[in-house]
Structures are given as structure tokens and as C-alpha cells.
Amino acid sequence: MNHLVALPHHLCYLNGEYLPLNEARVSVLDRGFIFGDGIYEVVPVYGGKPFRWAHHHARMARSLQEVRIPHADDAATWAARIDHLVNAHAAHTGQRVGNIEQLIYIQITRGVAPRDHVIDPQLSPTVFAMVNTMKPPSAEQREHGVSCVSAHDFRWEKGHIKSISLLSAILARDISHQAHAVETVMFRNGHLTEASSSNVWVVKNGSVMAAPKDNLVLEGIRYGLLEELCAQEGLSYELRPIRRSEVFDADELLLTSATKEVLPITHLDGQAIGHGAQAGRPGPIYQRLYQAYQKVKQ
């Protein structure tokens, strides 16, 4: 099959140029291709505006610094680029930007060079960005919640970097995919870390908790957002090590990510989450945080 026929051809950004996505090309010697040597960002766009862009840009800058890739384009330069791509994508789909939810993907790799593990600080990074239509959770998932499975967190110890080396995340996700579940909730040394591409929240006695922001989890942009939403809603918010038994004994479990926003986990390893009549159903704290999230999106 000629993949070029099937690939989307709306505009993307590659190394200073805007060109159709299906025509964009990177060398096979790109260190992103050879080593997974790069970082990325995923940013939701509501009404044509990237949501919490300053936070995403700051996280991108942190990832770049951690992996020592020099890239100095500031938040305003990126915002102009994103604006161009968002409008081009909307025009391509025949819709007004105000009527669709979009997703920006940005990837920066260390650049193109003969294969060598050693980092050459002189390389020019490969800079890529595209916009796609957001695929939010279904109405059914929102109404009934989702099933997840648990697994040992076998990923590396630099989970705080939004690295494009995602093989371990993909293998982790496959565990739940094979079980027809939506995410893989991971534990390391008996404590909750996160899911393969989402953060995990435990609700207990009205308190909203997640794993500490350390090197074992990616600090989702929704960490800060949930802190704000909890403050608004008068809910207590706490980051601390959470034992496996506390996860299974939660009143509610939640997933957050750019695409899932906030989504209830109602079953983990086949066990209904929650207590009494509430067990296995999206809970009241989920409903409040979801409503509050929808308000701040506008």
C-alpha cells in the first residue's frame, strides 16, 4: 500500500518550514530515529487557543535542559507557529477553529549525525510540530468510567523527562490493551507511580492525592491544574507516596492527561473501585473536577 495516499496532508512545521504532513521528511540518521534521542510535548487546543501553553512550554524547556538539547525558541515564537498550524488544520478540516478541539504534537530531537552514542553539542536539533483533531474519551467512558489493569513499573528512572524514547511506555500500554482495558496503572516498590501515558489520582475521604513529583513520574500539566481546581472546589490536594493497597481501597480513582482531561477509573484488575452503592461507578469528586475542568477550558 502506498502510505502517502492515506496520510494526512494538512500543514506541519519542520525545521523552519511549513509543508504538507505527508511530504515532511527527516534523515534516517536523525538521532530521534536512531536512538529515540529527543523530547516531545502534547498540548490541547480549545477554541483555537493552546490550553495552558506557558506550562507546556516551560515543561518542554525543562525536558530540553535535562537531555542537553540546545533549542532557544521562546514561548511567543512557538505560540505564533502553533497559531499558524491550528488555523491551517481547521481550514483543512473545513471547520472553524472555535468549533473543534485540536491537539498539538511537538517533537525536538538532537539532530542528524553519523551514529555515535556520544553527544555532539554542535548539532542542530530537528524541530517538528503538527496539529491533529483531538480524540476525547467517548460519552460512554465518561458516563460509566473505564477499566484499567495494574503492572510493575519497568520503565527507566528518568520518567520526569518527556522523552520520545517510549518503548517501555508502549509495552506497558500493551498490557492493558491486551486485556481490553484503557490504561496500565503502574507500581514501583509497592507504590503508585502513574499510568503509561496519564497520571493517576486517588480520592480518599474527600482528599485528592497523587504520587510525588519526582524522577519516577512525568509531571503532567494537569498536576498543577488539579491543584488549582481542588483549591476552587475546597478539596484537599496532597502529593505523597501512595501504597498499592490504598489504590485498591480508594473511594475514587482518576486518570488525567491532555486528551483524557480527567477520567474515572471504575475497575482495576477487575475489582470495582469505591465502596457501597458507589462501587464501580464514577464518583462525586470526579463529577466536580470534570465540571470545573470544563469551565476553565473556555
Q: Where in the sequence numbering do the catalytic residues fall?
A: 162
DSSP 67-100: HT------HHHHHHHHHHHHHHHHHHHT--GGG-
Residue 106's beta-bridge partner residues? 41, 129
- x-or-dash pattern for ligand PDD, window 16-55, by CB under 6 A? --------------------------x-------------
Helix (H, G, I), strand (E, B), or coil: what is residue 272? strand
Contacts (CB under 6 A) with ligand PDD, residues 149-208? 169, 194, 197-199
In angstroms, what is the minimal distance from the CB of 159 to ligand PDD?
A: 7
- x-or-dash pattern for ligand PDD, window 227-266, by CB under 6 A? -----------------------------xxxx-------
In angstroms, what is the minimal distance from the CB of 56 to ligand PDD?
A: 7
Q: How many helices (H) and strands (E) does the chain have?
A: 9, 15
221: contact with ligand PDD by CB under 6 A: yes
Nearest to 215, CA basis, from 284, 141, 160 = 160
Q: How far apart are CA 160 and CA 280, in angstroms?
A: 31
Using the structure block, give the residue that is written with the C-alpha cell 486518570: 255
Q: How far apart are CA 84 and CA 91, in angstroms?
A: 11
Number of residues this chain uses to bind ligand PDD (CB under 6 A):
14
Question: Toward ligand PDD, which CB reaches closer, 112 or 181?
Answer: 181
* Residue selected from 31, 222, 267, 288 as contacting ligand PDD according to rule CB under 6 A: 222
In angstroms, what is the minimal distance from the CB of 275 to ligand PDD?
A: 27
- Compute CA 169 distance to the chain's CA centroid, rounded to the nearest angstrom: 12
In angstroms, what is the minimal distance from the CB of 295 to ligand PDD?
A: 18
Residues of this chain that interact with ligand PDD (CB under 6 A) are 42, 169, 194, 197-199, 218, 220-222, 256-259
